[in-house]
Amino acid sequence: MKFIDEYRDAELARKLVTRIEQLSTRPARLMEFCGGHTVAIMRNGIRQLLPPTVEMLSGPGCPVCVTANADIDKAIALSRLPDVIVTTFGDMIKVPGSYSSLQQARAEGADIRIVYSTQDALQIARDNPRKSVIFIGIGFETTAPTIAASILQAEQEKFENFYLLCLLKLCPPVMKAILNLGEIKLDGIVCPGHVSAIIGSRPYEFIPRDYSVACVVSGFEPLDILLSVAMLVEQNEEGKPGVEIAYRRVVKPEGNKRALELIDEIFEVDAADWRGIGIIRDSGLKMGKAYGRFDAERAFTITPGPVREAKGCICGDILRGVKTPVDCKLFREVCLPEHPVGPCMVSSEGACAAYYQYGDGYE
């Protein structure tokens, strides 16, 4: 398959692994930020190919996983309102909140529909003029522009029944928060590929400058990841951390100007609640003043119960890179894809789901 097979070539992969082995003389602890990277690493068995000096940790880059229980509770409470249709991306439906999940609410009679894009949600609003259609907007900078576009479209077409529960989050601020926590000593970050297609590579420049941590923006194919690891190891060995792009076919240093303008027009930067980390200043997006009428939290009054965390679940520690799924007592025992306790086991990009699904180092 063109544009895919080139990035999965086994011979080139072996060459990159050899290069990493030759370059790496001292320990390098790298965090792959994205859930998509974690999945690609596990699915291709990349960790087994790397020399023992290179350690890979999963980061907080799975939008479903970092959604706080409080926010899931809000989505569930909205779904229980009369004459409301909640629309959401598929993974969200199984995530347990404090007391229930959207899946459970649906079984109890709530009208909750899985959509593949905001266009589907708009269409449902068009088809159901007497109902209020709420889209659960989760995601990072990658998803924000399309959600912004749907708000713009709703404005232009004068929708009066379309709302957004805006749970969008921003990547550079959470990276900063993790580095500030100082719980783990990182030598490099495999930076998100598709987020960077929107924001570019410049927003990461504070990381090498202020924290001396190397950054390489990576794609999601095996060769992309191996190349990024090689570049991070090289920066680390030379003692010259910087920001590089190993995904030039998609990412430009300046990002996507049009998409960034769209985000700016619709949203405002605000604090956001991250599972396992808590509230981080300026790390999320909320509806801008001009579009406040589409804000589900303003349009509806809900009273979700007090927030509760699942006992024994260490998703928060995993998202901060402090622990790995195999450190969790519930992993594979109580917490399974069919009975997930925490969100990292639910999302197809969750670290626990990836570890469960693909295992690690079976010979």
Partner 1 sequence: MSENILLAHGSGSKLSHDLIEKNFLAPLANPLLAKLDDSAVFDLSGRLAFTTDSYVVSPIFFPGGDIGKLAVCGTVNDLAMSGAVPLYLSLSLIIEEGLALDELDRVVNSIKTAAEEAGVNIVTGDTKVVNRGSADKLFINTSGIGVVPLGIDISGANATVGDKIILSGAIGDHGIAVMSQREGLKFSVPVQSDCAPLNKLVSQMLQVSSHIHCLRDPTRGGLATALNEFAKQSNVGIKIEEERIPVQEGVRAACELLGFDPLYIANEGKLVAIVDSHDADRILTTMKQDPYGASSSIIGEVTEGHRGRVVMKTRLGASRIVDMLSGELLPRIC
Shortest Å, Cβ 182 to partner 1: 33
DSSP-derived letter for residue 101 is -
CA within 13 Å, CB half, 87: 22
The residue assigned the tokens 């007391």 is 99
Nearer to partner 1, 158 or 338 (CB): 338
Q: What is the DSSP string of 154-184?
A: HHHTT-SSEEEEE--B-HHHHHHHHHHH-SS
Nearer to partner 1, 306 or 361 (CB): 361
Nearer to partner 1, 146 or 357 (CB): 357
Nearer to partner 1, 4 or 303 (CB): 4
Nearer to partner 1, 109 or 338 (CB): 338
Q: Indicate if the alpha-carbon torsion angle 209, 214, 220, 224 is positive or negative.
A: positive
Shortest Å, Cβ 259 to partner 1: 21
CB 220 within 8 A of CB 40: yes
The whole-angstrom separation of Cα 320 and Cα 59 is: 6
Shortest Å, Cβ 10 to partner 1: 5
CB 269 within 8 A of CB 284: yes
Shortest Å, Cβ 56 to partner 1: 13
Q: Residue 188 pairs with which residues in a beta bridge?
A: 30, 214
Q: What are the CA-CA distances from residue 136 to residues 30, 287, 288, 330 (Å)?
A: 32, 13, 17, 28
Shortest Å, Cβ 278 to partner 1: 30
Shortest Å, Cβ 64 to partner 1: 13
Nearer to partner 1, 104 or 348 (CB): 348
Q: Tokens in use for 230?
A: 């090689």
The whole-angstrom separation of Cα 23 and Cα 228 is: 13
Shortest Å, Cβ 48 to partner 1: 4
Nearer to partner 1, 153 or 357 (CB): 357
CB 332 within 8 A of CB 363: no
Pairing of strands 111-114, 162-166: unpaired
- Which residues are near partner 1 by CB under 8 A? 1, 4, 8, 10, 13-14, 42-49, 94, 222, 336-338, 348, 356-363
